[in-house]
Structures are given as structure tokens and as C-alpha cells.
Amino acid sequence: MRMLYYDIISSPIGKLLLLASEKGLKQILFESQLKNITINKNWQLNSSKLSEIKEQLDSYFNKELKQFNLILDPNGTAFQKQIWEKLQEIPYGKIKSYQDIANSINKAKACRAVGMANSLNPIPIIIPCHRVIGKNGKLTGYAGGLNNKAKLLQLENIEFKSDTKQYDLF
């Protein structure tokens, strides 16, 4: 088993757990997901190994960075990785629908498969699955919660159909 490095950082959308291998960033988990995670024995707390990731995330949240430049090492199937690569082509401040992504891989009927791959994205924010919305312009599911998805879109000055009941829990 190879060693993985982690750190937990603060962000405007709550705490984020960063997990990386020697090859690159493997995973980002939202605060809401941390209660379901046990720090594995082959994970080593190491802020310095994750400093570049933290710096780029800080710059993104401060609206100073629009394009991440990090080496990624996500686990996934060939199809999932294909979708995640397409997500990285969505520019800062722009949105696409699941249908747009399915069309971009010449599989117009693969909307649900695209949605599933999107939902399994292990590196949210960096692989910008928050920029994918429903064909009707409304926000759809997000691992970090719809409220955080809305915050990320607002950070990028992206307009979307706002139905506050849709993502406000209280």
C-alpha cells in the first residue's frame, strides 16, 4: 500500500480534506463528508506536500485564480476519467448541462451516465463539476450540497435559476 498525504484546510465553504499521492491530488472532501471518513493508517498528515493545492484553492476563493494548474491522480473508470477531463474544459464563469457534456463525447443518450460520473468526481472544485447544471437551468445534486454549489457558482459570477427552496435546508 502506498502512502497518501492529507491535510484539512478552511475555506469559505467550510473545511476541506485534501488527499494526495506522490503522483498528484486524489481527492477533496467537503466538511459534510468528513463525519463519514476515518483517517486511514496509510494517510500521513503533511501540510507541506499539499501546500501548492492549498495556495491555488486560496487564490481561487479570493477570485485571483481562474484555471488550476495541478497534477491530478483520481481513481475512476475510463469513462469517468473521460467525463472528468471534459469537466475541466468548462471555463471559469461558464456552465454546461449534462446534455452538453454527453453531446461533447458523441453520446447524446448518455446523460444519466454523465450525471453519475459527475456525482462520483473525487476532486470537486478543481474538476469543476459545480459548473454542470440541469438542462432547465436549475441546480442539481452536488456532493458538497446544493448550497455550496450555489456559492461556488456565485463566486464565479455565474447566473443560474435560483429557487432558494431548492438548496436552502433551513
Block means of pLDDT (10 residues each) for the chain, 170 residues, are: 90 96 96 85 92 97 96 97 96 94 94 93 96 87 88 90 48
Considering 129, 139, 146, 155, which one is annotated as catalytic? Answer: 129
Compute the distance between CA of residue 138 and CA of residue 10 in angstroms, rounded to an integer: 28
- The pTM of the whole model exceeds 0.85: yes
Closest CA to 2 of 29, 22, 19: 22
Q: Is residue 117 part of a domain?
A: yes
Q: Is residue 10 part of a domain?
A: yes
Q: How many domains does the chain have?
A: 2
Contacts of 134 (CB under 8 A, 6+ apart): 97, 98, 140
Q: Is residue 73 part of a domain?
A: no
Segments forming the whole domain that contains residue 55: 4-61
* 91 and 124 share one domain: yes
Would you call 111 a catalytic residue per the annotation? no
Compute the distance between CA of residue 32 and CA of residue 39 in angstroms, rounded to an integer: 15
Q: Is residue 133 part of a domain?
A: yes
CA-based max dimension of the chain: 46
pLDDT of residue 168: 40
* 96 and 152 share one domain: yes
